[in-house]
């Protein structure tokens, strides 16, 4: 019987292999933050020390990169969902990304809150069309606020879509 060159026990090799496989499957679906991946792997019943080894290796080979994850998240969610910077930061913090990294990603992605609010208001204006101007303005403002836009940005969005007659 040959002696294994590895200092790890055979069962640990199996666990490490399983953890790496699970991590790969999770990362195939979508990019994840370091925190998210750790939580998912530990939640699957894997040993914390094994998870630490896997995560360290994935960071080393740059399959996990919180900065790149935050930048991708901001870019996609601001366009697809029309979320405001404040909402994007909250989502990233919930995924374990530091506030500094989240703000850095927003800055790097050059998210302009007022311009974004105006774009979202144009898309949402169809939902309020045909109503009195004051009701359209109030509903648009509220829809933008629910997406995390500041009151100023929400009003800029409303002004971009509706003429000021009758509601301003």
State the distance between the two ends of the chain, measured CA to CA, in whole angstroms: 85
Domain ranges of the chain: 13-60, 66-109, 113-161
Q: What is the pTM of this model?
A: 0.70
Tell me the C-alpha to C-alpha distance, in Å, between residue 95 and each of 18, 32, 39, 66, 111. Answer: 23, 8, 10, 10, 20
- Each residue's pLDDT tens digit, 19-45: 999 999 999 999 999 999 999 999 999
pLDDT in tens, 77-116: 887 888 888 899 999 999 999 999 999 998 888 878 888 8
Closest CA to 166 of 122, 118, 131: 131
């Amino acid at each position: 019987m040959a002696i294994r060159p590895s200092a790890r026990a055979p069962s640990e090799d199996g666990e490490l292999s399983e953890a790496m496989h699970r991590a790969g499957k999770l990362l195939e679906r979508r990019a994840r933050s370091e925190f998210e991946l750790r939580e998912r792997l530990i939640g699957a019943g894997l040993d914390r020390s094994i998870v630490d080894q896997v995560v360290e290796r994935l960071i080393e080979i740059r399959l996990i990169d919180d900065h790149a994850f935050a930048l991708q998240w901001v870019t996609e969610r601001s366009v697809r969902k029309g979320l405001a910077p404040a909402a994007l930061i909250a989502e990233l913090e919930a995924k374990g990304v530091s506030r500094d990294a989240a703000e850095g990603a927003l800055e790097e992605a050059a998210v302009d809150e007022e311009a974004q609010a105006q774009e979202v208001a144009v898309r949402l204006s169809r939902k309020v069309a045909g109503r009195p101007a004051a009701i359209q303005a109030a509903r648009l403002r509220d829809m933008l606020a629910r997406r995390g836009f500041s009151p100023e940005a929400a009003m800029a969005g409303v002004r971009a879509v509706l003429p000021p007659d009758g509601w301003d």
